[in-house]
Amino acid sequence: MHGNRRGLTAAVVTLLAGLSLASPVRLAAADSSATCREHRVPVSALPGVGGTYHIAGTLCTPASGSPGTIQLLIPGAAYNRTYWDFPVPGYSYARAAAARGQATFAIDRFNTGASSHLPPALVTVDLDAAAVHKVISALRDGQVGGVPFSRVVTVGHSLGSGIAVQEAATYHDVDGVILTGFTDYISAETLVGLSTLQLLAPAPNEPVGELTTPPGERERWFYVKENADPAVIAKDEATKDTSTASEIATVSVPGLTLPTHLITAPVFLAIGGKDINWVCVARPCGDAATLRRTEAPRFTAASSLEAYALPGAGHNINLHRNRNEFFDAAAGWVDRRVG
């Protein structure tokens, strides 16, 4: 199975390398009393690239002030920070965290939203992880919002989870890791979707090597229709962004290329019980016990490993009707494991 994954991934990247794609759109959300402000964090001395670039993000703090712990929110493929501060009332992870007394900093990956844009071939998971490492240092030093945070938890979704894995395993500078929409097993259906351009495909008006979801395909791949609001799916389609073929090539075979076994921080795994993209070996994970049992052999160095499955949800667990169950579980884990 792993050999087939590697071959399909190489074929997909080769196929997509000569094609082009669509402009990103980002909207802000406002559905709580949280204080949210835009920031741009300079990052330099990155591997393989020279100069200084910027990672853009939104810092949200609770009305009660800035706590000592902050969650650094990393979006997935074809998304920017909008995923975490979604512009439909009640669907913002960042503002839900603020209502629970927690601070967040939701970022745009390179080549998305308001972050710096580089040649797509340079934007890999390794480069993303190095940029996240720089942002973590800035958060600890008080360079974002003028308040130093003593504890940092990285929170990823899908591709963003792969970046969080790479960062934590390489730099060992975080106090906790939350991985959502991610396991060590990509589904056969997703591999077919990638190889046939049904899941990620080129779109006009972007440099060669940039990818996004084809029009109207997000519902199929990211949602369980009966547990999702059509208005949310429509807004998701309207605010979609891009990812690079190089990012997909360096994250799509996590069991082979991502060093989950080197993470030493506590880990919280969360997935939609009906996610069709990332699965437990060959089928949807379904429940927390199955997810933990499947993934435990890959997280042998983590100081603790907990798992959560959102019932009846697909890939985008933040954007299903019962998302608050996950929001509560994530906030509870941060309080319990990190403080």
Q: What's the CA gap between 103 and 140, in Å, rounded?
A: 13
pLDDT in the model for residue 64:
86
Q: Residue 221 is part of a domain; what is its CATH number?
A: 3.40.50.1820
171-230 pLDDT per residue, tens: 999 999 999 999 999 999 999 999 999 999 998 799 999 999 999 999 999 999 999 999
End-to-end CA distance of the chain: 40
Mean pLDDT (whole number) for 7-18: 37
Question: Helix or strand or coil: residue 278?
Answer: strand
- For residue 41, give the nearest of 143, 153, 112, 163 by alpha carbon: 143
Amino acid 255: pLDDT: 55
Mean pLDDT is lowest, of 24-28, 58-62, 272-276, 277-281, for 24-28
- What is the pTM (predicted TM-score) of this model? 0.91
Asked if residue 132 has pLDDT above 80, the reply is yes
Print the domain residue range for 329: 2-337
**Tokens at residue 246, please?**
């190089």
12 pLDDT above the threshold of 90: no
pLDDT per residue over 296-312, tens digit each? 999 999 999 999 999 99
CA distance 19 to 180: 29
Note whether 94 and 58 are within 8 A (CB).
yes
Residue 25 has pLDDT above 70, yes or no: no
- The arithmetic mean of pLDDT across residues 93-97, rounded, is 97
pLDDT at 254: 53
The whole-number pLDDT of residue 32 equals 54
94, two tokens: 């960042």
Q: How many domains does the chain have?
A: 1
Q: What are 63-83's pLDDT values in tens digits?
A: 988 899 999 999 999 999 999
How many other β-carbons are positioned within 10 Å of the β-carbon of residue 42? 13
